[in-house]
Amino acid sequence: MQQGASLLMSERQRLAELLRKCSKNFLYDQGKEVHGAVVRKGYGLDLMINNDIIDLYGKCGRIEFARAVFDRMPDRNVVSWTALMCGYLQAGDARRPLLLLREMGLSSVKPNEFTFSTNFKACGILGALVNGKQIHSLCSKRGYEWYPVVGNSIIDMYSRSGQISDAEYLFHVMPIRSLISWNVMIAGYALEGEGAKSLLLFKKMQKQGEIPDEYTFTSTLKACTVSGAILEGTQIHAFLTVRGIPFLNQKIVSGSLIDLYVKCGRLFEAHKVFNDVEQKSVISWTALIIGYAQEVNLSVALDLFRELRNSSIPVDGFVVSSMMGVFADFALVELGKQMHAYAEKKPTRTDISVANSILDMYLKCGLIGEAERYFCDMLAKNVISWTVMITGYGKHGLGTEAIHLFKRMQLENVEPDAVAYLAILSACSHAGLVEEGQEYFRRFCNDHRLKRRVEHYACMADILGRAGRLREAKHLIENMPLKPNIGIWQTLLSACRVHRDVEIGREVGEILLRLDSDNPVNYVMMSNIFADACCWKECEKLRGIVKAKGLKKEAGRSWVEIDKQIHFFYNGDDAHPLFESIHDILKEMEKRMKEEIGYAYDTSFSLHDVEEESKQEGLRLHSEKLAIGLALVCGGLDDEKPIRIFKNLRVCGDCHEFIKGLSMILCKVFLVRDANRFHKFENGICSCKDYW
């Protein structure tokens, strides 16, 4: 009798061990077979076995099967609930663990440290601070707060939710700190952009005898990246090398080092590390490809991508999304379409992040019709999908369509997050929808689950500024609950120039120069306001300061894609082999515009202390005009398709008037994407209604 029970126990134990082995190695098919054996042998209602089955399906990404097993269980313990929560979290559904925790609270089963830890992770992913604080309170009452796995998760949750001071406090009052605690806090500072604090903590932990691991180095290198601390980053690189730490075999460390060098513009060093890495990760490949692309070395970037495709490393959704982002940023329509076709043939076609990046590419390339069709055909949409489309409508000045889509999103039970509200506020701003913008801003501020950012207030300030309500916009900035940044004051200063309000412009300009005295953009914006008002002495004074400080404004750069090749132009650029033809066709267009519609240069956008003829020549050589000239030279006059031009900065006022006139005399559509929005020029009218 005793022997039979022992055999029965060993069979049960053997099945449990098989399930755990399949779970650990993500062996879904084999695990499914063991599940079948479990049912056949009569263990279908066994609590321990069912917990192992839930864990197996959760780790293998079959959460629907895990849920089915859970729902059929006659009895559940804390392991059952926690395993299902973990499964949902691994499947990318961070909301479901929180719902399960609430459901668990109605049962007789009490959460343990792993249940709490899982739910803090879910709150951190969602940025659900209110939920996180409630769980923190419950956790403290139950006496789990200082369990290491829980304490570390709480710090991580506060860090991810933007409450770095709360995370910092908990870290300092922790009775026992493990290496994980230090790593979480270092990563939290880096996530918040406080790289200097990460580096200080990195030094402090070593003084206290903690030995850094690969996660420490990864977070510290990320801290160097966010703060641009290339010197400290190279010191860490040297430390790794001198200490003989095998970082070239550690994918996450080597990937972070490559990313640091790329983000700090050290492509030579990045490529050298990349070449030395024995087992290259997809993240390392992607970082280097994006680095070359952002430095406008697209040929090397594309060559690297082809090498990656031919390697043994699978091209996953992260790579495709990243490449799509490059094509979107540079508006490379044809390459974007090719990547879309490539993605459709791969398993990544079901990846929602890939779908969102394809949608974004079409919108940033100005293909609003293709984007709408693609959006409608998407198999699945998340809040990011809706936000991307709303943002696209906003950039094209289609505020009404953006509002309609926002309402549709809510009707389909998709909760808008802080980024979605930012998108709708931006759309209202671009379309001049003041009342609608105020209503959405009010709703957003009243939803205390959402984290407010300066950008939300900047949109509202822009909406008011566009309407000429400059004092009201300034009052909003001065009384908002967040510290105003440089960008929000620049937004208001730009509105002051549009409405030629020198008084408020001077007030705002003085604030900006106090906050950011070495930024040439602030001096240029102020100088333009004074120049428009013919306040030449103040204008000259600002220009003198810029010269004395040796400040240089970012160069204006425009580009156009012709026959799958991208052509870049800078202001005054005469290096293109077709420059003479470009110059001639621009002069011809100017002559026609003068004769047909009375066009004249707006020389207020040129220096006031040079001859009129030189002013006109300088304006003719603006980068956006040169790009248009090349498009016209290369068949644009005969082609019925719109001409698409892209610029890294705001399009200048004279070029804006020039393109409006050109669209009228040529009966041609011009699409221009600048740093702020899309401008659709047609029949002498721009979609921005002359406010940008």
**Quick one: three-class SS letters along 596-617?**
HHCCCCCHHHCCCCCCHHHHHH
pLDDT score of 564: 75
**Residue listed under structure tokens 């702020």:** 676
Q: Cα separation of 343 and 324, whole Å?
A: 10
- Strands lying side by side in the sheet with 685-686: 565-570, 557-562, 643-647, 670-673, 678-682, 685-686
Report the interhelical angle of 418-431 vs 454-466 (nearest 10°).
10
CB 172 within 8 A of CB 151: no
Q: Cα separation of 525 and 542, whole Å?
A: 10
pLDDT score of 614: 41
pLDDT score of 5: 47
SS3 content of the chain, % helix, strand, coil (to 5): 70, 5, 25
Strands 643-647 and 565-570: unpaired
Q: Which amino acid is at 322?
A: S
End-to-end Cα separation, the chain, in angstroms: 87
The predicted model scores a pTM of: 0.73
**How many Cβ atoms are within 10 Å of 158's Cβ, its own excluded?**
26
Write down the architecture of domain 2-204 according to CATH.
Alpha Horseshoe (1.25)
535: tokens are 């306040």
Q: Cα separation of 663 and 593, whole Å?
A: 10
CB 247 within 8 A of CB 217: yes
DSSP per position, 10-32 = HHHHHHHHHHHHHHHTT-HHHHH
Give residue limits of the domains in the chain: 2-204, 558-686
List per-block mean pLDDT (blocks of 10 residues) for the chain, which spans 692 residues: 52 90 90 91 91 93 93 95 94 91 93 96 90 93 91 94 91 92 94 89 92 92 90 92 83 90 92 88 87 82 87 83 87 87 82 92 92 93 95 94 97 93 96 95 91 93 94 96 93 92 94 91 90 87 88 84 86 90 93 87 47 52 93 86 89 89 93 89 88 70
Q: Cα separation of 42 and 550, whole Å?
A: 82
Q: Cα separation of 190 and 523, whole Å?
A: 32
Report the run of H or E that residue 253 belongs to, with start and end: helix 251-263
Q: Cα separation of 82 and 117, whole Å?
A: 10
